[in-house]
Structure 1
Amino acid sequence: MPRPSDDVRVCDARATDADLDDLRARLAAARLPEAETVRGAPPGRRRWEQGVPLADLTELVEYWRTGYDWRAFEARLDRIGRFRTTVDGLGIHFLHRRSARADAVPLLMTHGWPGSIAEFVDVVDELADPRDPDAPAFHVVVPSLPGFGYSDKPATTGWGIERIAAAWVELMGRLGYDRFVAHGGDWGGVITTVLGGRFPAHVLGIHTLTPQAPPGLTTDGLTAAERAWTEETRAFWSGPRAAYAKQQAARPQTIGYALVDSPVGLLAWIVDKFAEWSDTEDSPFETMSRDRVLDNVTLYWLTRAGASAARIYHESHDSLDPGLRVDVPSALTVYPRDIEKCPRPWARERFRNIVRWHTPGAGGHFPSLEVPGDFVADLRAGLAAVLAAHR
């Protein structure tokens, strides 16, 4: 294996005590609105139909101010290994956990919005050094998207999904990984699709939670369940639930002022999606760790990424090339409570070599946080099928 480039350096970024004191002071001084007018609704989805309920947010803000420990998350990142390098003129931050196994395969994992590298910190170790010696092992690389976390914020337009995918190939080569497998969900899934379609010489195969079909396909021949998937997805993107994406695509700078200036505003904007897009009935914390969600939000806050992260929508919303086809082996997983579900017959129109198709019984848009054990098992099975296709 080629030696990694010397251009890669350890990232030792730390929040200052002043930064953390300022966050707590802002939380203590927060001005909150009155309660939602569906207040008193019984536990369930209806409680959230106007957004994050006041009682839930008040409790979460208090815990963020008095109980949450950012330093523990920094230490967790240090144990995994965090680094920076410059690719295509932009500083890119990434986690890199090398496996001790001689047969390990390089694995690139890409997050989306409103996620971050925090989505994967609880699964990296098990993927790199599995407890089961018969399970596949991976050298895991988790980059922060441009404008997210400790990656640089682009100062000009042009950092869309195609450019990011090309940058990821350069990043992996710089680490000595000329051939690798790739995983992603949300924007990470779209970027992973681009990787598989544009860079088959480098990408052994992909695992995505966000298979997207080419436009214009008919529902003729779909089963009733598959037709329901298409109707649910169409209703999501054409209705008010997609307002966040339209806002961030059209006016990321405008919403960015609120997200960078108000920690409570940022918290509500992100937690609203963790609640709505997860496989839960009343609260995202039925399945997800409160601390891990706050790790994610605090990373956005400390790096002032509210506007710069939102700009990925301005750069890339509806930008996946309709003619892109993916011929590398592809493992596709569609979780039952995800916001976008593509029927297999439609997926086959873009992904020409589907080696595994899986529809788990539980999980939503954030499976690595909601059902981490099942997520790891599915990812391993999918990538095992990808690698078997090369034998």
Structure 2
Amino acid sequence: MMMNQSFVTELNRFSDHYIKPYIVQWEAAGEYPQELHSMAGSEGILRLGHSDKDSLFRDTDSAVALVETLTAGGSQGLAMGLASYLVSLSALHQHNDGRFDAVIEQVLDGDATISLAITEPQAGSDIAAITTQAVPSAQQDEFLITGEKSYICGGLHANYFVVLAKYGDRATGQQEMGLFLVEREPGTVSGERIPTLGWQCLDVSSVRLEMARGRLIAGSQACFGTLKMMLKKERINLAVMANSDARSLLDDSLIFAHKRQVHGAPLHNKQAILHHLAEMQLQISATSALVAQSVAALREERLTDEAACVTKVNATRALDLVSSLGVQIFGARGCERGYLPERVFRDAKILSLGGGTTEVLQNIIGKSLIHSLTK
């Protein structure tokens, strides 16, 4: 599918007018205005410029452009807040038989927000350790869900959650895993903000479910396939964020090294600074090629779990190094709140944890390599 250029133009305009001038203020305040969702919805940003849902969910390039532009124009936290809905909605769209149309439309219009609620305090990346339980209610096709989720992006404000929980299969009676759509209702969904190192303008929170009503999205037969699809998309989004942040920081570092005077000459006259800038470019060039390769594979529905993991690990490692060098180039100013190097340095660490830690992804990569020997 060709990139919708009118969408890209509108997206850049939206970022320039409604995000870039305010991001430092929002980071300091600890939140961005929730009205941004309705603004993005009313201007067609959340629909990626499409009028029909099928085209929207097939448009990988515009989805990547959304994540990339929001990161470059603001912060990772802002990008997670405004763009992560696509991963959650992809599950609803994949299993939609008309039951989820209203929710999908609300989110795309910016009238509601949706968050992915998988991680639990005691489980981390260990899905087998999930304890959240869903039991059938008296209402047909409805479950009552109880449990606690942790580190949920946008969890304090979300109207809907895609929740991973255990449930008793009606046919077999066995405990199975399922994905459920839960709507926030008074008395059944609560939570508290979790202060985090980075993503300062995003409400990362715990979410407690107490007999919360939920509808089954994907049952035991389809749950893990759907979850793997969502995680692949999330990992590529995180890689795109890492690469976008690295590019932005290199651009700022180049300008600073050119303008900053040291002993009567530009900072870039120092060989060490040139080497830092060169290393940043080397990291970004390699990661950009890998991200582009994985985005193409995702577009063509041939992206493997291993490739998604390789891309995400490489992109976040590159950002770790680029963010450290950026702070070094800026010196004391690189540690000052309100400047890009300081924000990227803090945000970078979260990217190496989200979507599966580097170590978890290395396990997936290693097992895939061993499995290739036994085919």
- Which structure has greater helix proportion? 2
Which structure is richer in relative contact order (CA contacts within 8 A, separation 6 or more)?
1
Which TM-score band applies after superposition, normalised by the shorter structure?
Answer: under 0.3
Larger radius of gyration: 2
So what's the TM-score if we normalise by structure 2? 0.26
Structure-1-length-normalised TM-score: 0.26
